[in-house]
Amino acid sequence: MIPAAFEYVRPTTVDEAVQAVAEGGEDVKVMAGGQSLIPVMRLRLAAPSTVVDLGRVAEMRGVRDEGDVLVIGAMTTHAEVIADPLVAQHARLIAEATETVADRQTRRRGTFGGALAHADPAGDLPAVALALDAEMVVAGPGGRRTVPARDFFVDYLTTTLDEGEVLVEIRVPKLAGQWGVRYEKFNRVAQAWSIVAVAAAVRRENGSIAEARIGLTNMGPTPLRASATEAALAGAGASPDAIAAAARSAAEGTSPSSDLNAQADYREHLAQVLTRRAVTAAAGL
């Protein structure tokens, strides 16, 4: 359980970080909170020759308001996200989901950006980023680019981040209008990973549902949107029956895995139930 020897670099700016990654050779790894990386290194499933620790890159930390968009630094820890007043005001869904992540200790170290870059299908934050149509700002040797969440998650533990690229910040559009949100997570033990979870944001207008955005956690190798349910809810009456009917198609187009925690068909069932609950709560019913 002792990691292999590695070089350690601790840059203080994004540019330095990108440069350190470029100079680190083939086996370089970026480290954020280390809550996922260190265990893998300790099991020696990864043995990077160089670890670039982003812990001192101040510009990657914190939340700022840019008008219609909330910008969350990749190195902002889960604990900071939960406590942040801007997040509470404009992106409450993120705070709500982050509260369910791991335990207090892990939340003090683990970061928002790290959780997204790690792209664990059971991770809670990717589905939320997807539901909120967030955008990832990525820095590499060739400069910066912005990737929408729907293109960012490619596969199990895989994102569009190239080797040599660093996730700098996440741009989250503020929800304009009368939105309600809810993160419904199903796990057997408090603080455990999601077996299935549903992130819902619902906009109400004149007693009916004008728009719903639903992100699914752990229903496939990447986070997914429950598009069929979203379509069924658009313009539907904000009634329990309408929501229940729409939630029945929540698992459409998903490809959940079967594992120790749940068989695929059970996950599909969970997706429907949790979607109904999340949308109901988000719609204020």
Partner 1 sequence: MQLENSFTVPVPVDEAWRVLLDIERIAPCMPGAALDSVTGDDFTGRVKVKLGPINLTYQGKASFVEKDEAAHRAVIDARGKDQRGNGTAAATITAKLLGEGSTTRVDVLTDLNITGRPAQFGRGVMTDVGNKLLGQFADKLAAQLGEGDAQGDAERASVAAGAAATATGVAEEVAQSVEQTPGDNAVAETVRKAGTAAREKAAAASDRLSDTGSGTGSDAAPSPTDTAEIAAVGATDTVSIAAVGAPDAASPASDAAPSGSDTAPVAAVGRAPSAPPSGPTAPPRRPATGAPPRSTPAGPPASTPASTPASTPASTPAVADTVRDRPLADPEPIDLLEVAGSAALTRYAGPATAAAAVLLLVVLAFRRRRR
Crossing angle of the two packed helices 264-282 and 240-247, in degrees rounded to 10: 150
Q: How far is the CB of 156 from partner 1 (least distance, A)?
A: 4
118 binds partner 1 (CB under 8 A): yes
Task: From the list partner 1, ligand FAD, none, pick the one residue 32 interacts with, judged by a Cβ distance below 5 to 8 Å according to partner type.
Answer: ligand FAD
Q: How far is the CB of 118 from ligand FAD (least distance, A)?
A: 4
Question: How many Cα atoms within 13 Å fall on the side-chain side of residue 141?
Answer: 9
d(CA 42, CA 36): 10
Which region among 41-49, 56-64, 71-79, 232-240 touches partner 1 (by CB under 8 A)?
41-49
* Contact criterion met (CB below 8 Å) for 147 and 167: no
Long-range contacts of 25-29 (CB under 8 A, 24+ apart): 25/49, 25/50, 28/52, 28/163
Q: Among residues 2 and 188, whose Cβ is nearest to ligand FAD?
A: 188
> Which residues of the chain form contacts with ligand FAD (CB under 6 A)?
29-37, 54, 74, 101-102, 106, 110-111, 113-115, 117-118, 120, 123-125, 161, 166-167, 192-193
According to CB under 8 A, which one of 22, 82, 86, 192 is a site residue for partner 1? 192
For residue 161, give Cα distances in angstroms to 37, 109, 113, 172, 216: 16, 22, 12, 18, 22
Q: Among residues 120 and 230, whose Cβ is nearest to ligand FAD?
A: 120
* Contact criterion met (CB below 8 Å) for 50 and 25: yes
Task: From the list partner 1, ligand FAD, none, pick the one residue 158 interacts with, judged by a Cβ distance below 5 to 8 Å according to partner type.
Answer: partner 1
Binding mask 66-95 for partner 1 (x = CB under 8 A): ------------------------------
Which region among 30-38, 77-85, 90-98, 201-209 touches partner 1 (by CB under 8 A)?
30-38
Q: Among residues 111 and 272, whose Cβ is nearest to ligand FAD?
A: 111
Our measurement of the distance from residue 159's CA atom to the centroid of its chain's CA atoms, rounded to an integer in Å, reads 12
With tokens 């510009």, the residue in question is: 59
Length of the chain: 285
CB atoms near residue 52 (< 10 Å): 25
According to CB under 8 A, which one of 37, 131, 246, 270 is a site residue for partner 1? 37
119 binds partner 1 (CB under 8 A): yes
* Contact criterion met (CB below 8 Å) for 87 and 72: yes
Q: Among residues 101 and 198, whose Cβ is nearest to ligand FAD?
A: 101
107 binds partner 1 (CB under 8 A): no
Helix segments in the chain, DSSP class H:
14-23, 37-42, 78-83, 85-90, 92-99, 104-109, 112-118, 125-131, 149-152, 227-233, 240-247, 264-282
120 binds partner 1 (CB under 8 A): yes
Q: How far is the CB of 164 from partner 1 (least distance, A)?
A: 15
According to CB under 8 A, which one of 15, 68, 103, 265 is a site residue for partner 1? 103
According to CB under 8 A, which one of 257, 269, 273, 281 is a site residue for partner 1? 257
* Contact criterion met (CB below 8 Å) for 277 and 270: no
Q: How is residue 282 written in tokens?
A: 């988000």
185 binds partner 1 (CB under 8 A): no
151 binds partner 1 (CB under 8 A): no
